[in-house]
Amino acid sequence: MIIENYSLKKLNTFGLDVKAAYFIDVKSLEYLEEQFELIRKKQFKYLVLGSGSNILFTKDYDGLVIKNSVQGIEIINETEKEIFIKTGGGVIWDNLVSFCIKNNYWGIENLSLIPGTAGAAPVQNIGAYGVELKDVFYSLDGIYLTDGKRKTFSKEESQFGYRSSIFKKELRNKFLITNVILRLSKLPAPKLNYRALREKFGSQEIKKISLSEIRSIVIEIRNGKLPNPAELGNAGSFYKNPVISNNVLKDLQKNFQDIVYFKIGDKYSKISAGWLIEKCGLKGFRDGYVGTYPKQALIIVNYGNATGKEIFEFSRMIQLKVKDKFGILLEPEVNIL
Ligand SMILES: Cc1cc2nc3c(=O)[nH]c(=O)nc-3n(C[C@H](O)[C@H](O)[C@H](O)COP(=O)(O)OP(=O)(O)OC[C@H]3O[C@@H](n4cnc5c(N)ncnc54)[C@H](O)[C@@H]3O)c2cc1C
């Protein structure tokens, strides 16, 4: 059923009081297909919504918001070493992680506590602590909102990159992901290359580290540095870490020796966007109800009554200051509408 003038306040983690002109909650692909003719006739503009944890609404949405609530976690195939799990796009990502940990399936434990739905996870190829969704992705199913046709996407077709995929680019709001299939390991496969994780485990023998220990440590680290959206509105990292050539990095290092970066291959490096913002004196900076989080400059927070427009303007101010000081244009990771 399509509802008019629907409040999205509880459906975006910035906690913004915005409305959708039209709203539909989709619990199954069959239901969406049933409604499809009506939706198409009305020629709405679409927005597919999960939990709204990677979206900044700068105003009311004047089209149809399609909320993905497709549920279900099922095992579709397994071998001695591997297991293939199919999850509904509306399943809360962290519930899926918790399910896998309870059943001893390895692969997504480093991605514990990332807010949002499983259907949105491939959109920006979620990542944390040295693991990205693409590392365990097998395929996904969905429906084109343009003509109602179903399609399965393989890993290759999904064109995953750093916080990016075909679903965040060409297919943004044109394709609704109904379910995702992950390929996980039944044999222990801890990924502890990320420094913060390695340090937490100290000299503990890697072979003896359990899935639930990794999950607990990841949760502890995240809770220590990221604001809980239920208490302080935010959408996680607001910008991507910029990727620059090593020549540009060398030039920057002449003036900023302590620049924080990670080498990617021989030619490029990823610069810490949080460091760039901090160096502009903006860590913990606040203007009215908007500010950067005091423990992590990369996160923009809503201290209560900020509007989406104010948050957007604040984000532009950060971009301009960083561009002026370093010549680097920060690219938002958050979807701005
Ligand atoms: C506190 C906090 C911490 C975070 N930490 C991380 C982190 O460590 N790593 C990380 O990668 N991200 C992180 N994020 C960002 C966010 O959690 C992820 O991007 C998440 O995948 C968004 O899921 P969602 O369901 O809320 O998507 P939404 O915000 O609802 O949507 C995000 C985008 O995906 C599209 N979309 C959503 N569902 C579908 C679907 N079923 N089919 C097609 N398109 C769809 C939307 O149209 C939109 O463009 C964090 C966010 C917060 C608030």
Q: Which of residues 68, 87, 106 is at a domain's end?
A: 68
314 and 308 Cβ atoms separated by less than 8 Å: no
Question: If you measure from the C-alpha of residue 250 to the centroid of ligand 1, how many angstroms do you get, rounded to a whole number?
Answer: 34
* 217 and 87, same domain (yes or no): yes
Cite the active site residues: 163, 237, 333
- Tens of pLDDT along 249-271? 999 999 999 999 988 888 999 99
Question: If you measure from the C-alpha of residue 92 to the centroid of ligand 1, how many angstroms do you get, rounded to a whole number?
Answer: 11
Of all protein residues, whose CA lies closest to atom 8 belonging to ligand 1?
128
Of all protein residues, whose CA lies closest to atom 53 belonging to ligand 1?
235
Identify the pLDDT of residue 311.
98
46 and 4 Cβ atoms separated by less than 8 Å: no
Q: Which of residues 68, 84, 101 is at a domain's end?
A: 68
317 and 239 Cβ atoms separated by less than 8 Å: no
What CATH number does residue 309 fall under? 3.90.78.10
What CATH number does residue 220 fall under? 3.30.465.10
* 185 and 63, same domain (yes or no): no
- Tens of pLDDT along 302-327? 999 999 999 999 999 999 999 999 99
Question: If you measure from the C-alpha of residue 116 to the centroid of ligand 1, how many angstroms do you get, rounded to a whole number?
Answer: 5
* 61 and 138, same domain (yes or no): no
Identify the pLDDT of residue 297.
96
- Residue 119 pLDDT exceeds 90: yes
* 327 and 313, same domain (yes or no): yes
Which residues form the domain of 33?
3-68
From 13, 27, 97, 114, the mutation candidate for ligand 1 (largest count of ligand atoms within 8 A of CB) is 114
Residues lining ligand 1, Cβ inside 6 A: 13, 47-55, 68, 89, 114-117, 119-121, 123-124, 126-128, 167, 172-173, 176-177, 226, 229, 234-236, 335
* 157 and 291, same domain (yes or no): no
* 121 and 241, same domain (yes or no): no
What CATH number does residue 64 fall under? 3.30.43.10
Q: Which of residues 22, 38, 68 is at a domain's end?
A: 68
* 60 and 178, same domain (yes or no): no
State which ligand 1 atom lies nearest to the alpha carbon of 124: 19
State which ligand 1 atom lies nearest to the alpha carbon of 142: 42
Distant-in-sequence contacts of 28-37, Cβ < 8 A, 24+ apart: 28/70, 29/70, 29/141, 29/143, 29/150, 29/178, 32/66, 32/143, 32/176, 32/178, 33/143, 33/148, 35/2, 36/143, 36/148
State which ligand 1 atom lies nearest to the alpha carbon of 13: 53
Number of Cβ atoms within 10 Å of the Cβ of 204:
11
Residue with the bigger pLDDT between 207 and 50: it is 50
C-alpha 269/C-alpha 248 separation (Å) is 9
Question: If you measure from the C-alpha of residue 197 to the centroid of ligand 1, how many angstroms do you get, rounded to a whole number?
Answer: 23
Identify the pLDDT of residue 40.
78
* 61 and 129, same domain (yes or no): no
From 46, 47, 54, the mutation candidate for ligand 1 (largest count of ligand atoms within 8 A of CB) is 54
* 51 and 87, same domain (yes or no): no
* 217 and 85, same domain (yes or no): yes
Single out the residue of 286, 271, 247, 273 nearest to residue 330, CA to CA. 273
Of all protein residues, whose CA lies closest to atom 19 belonging to ligand 1?
54
Strand-strand pairing, 175-185 and 82-88: antiparallel
- Tens of pLDDT along 271-305? 999 999 999 999 999 999 999 999 999 999 999 99
pTM: 0.93
pLDDT classification of 146: cutoffs 50, 70, 90 = confident
Look at the block and give the residue holding tokens 């399965």: 152
State which ligand 1 atom lies nearest to the alpha carbon of 119: 41
* 187 and 290, same domain (yes or no): no
Report the percent of the chain where pLDDT is more than 70.
100
* 108 and 218, same domain (yes or no): yes
Identify the pLDDT of residue 43.
76
Please tell me the total count of domains within the chain. Answer: 3
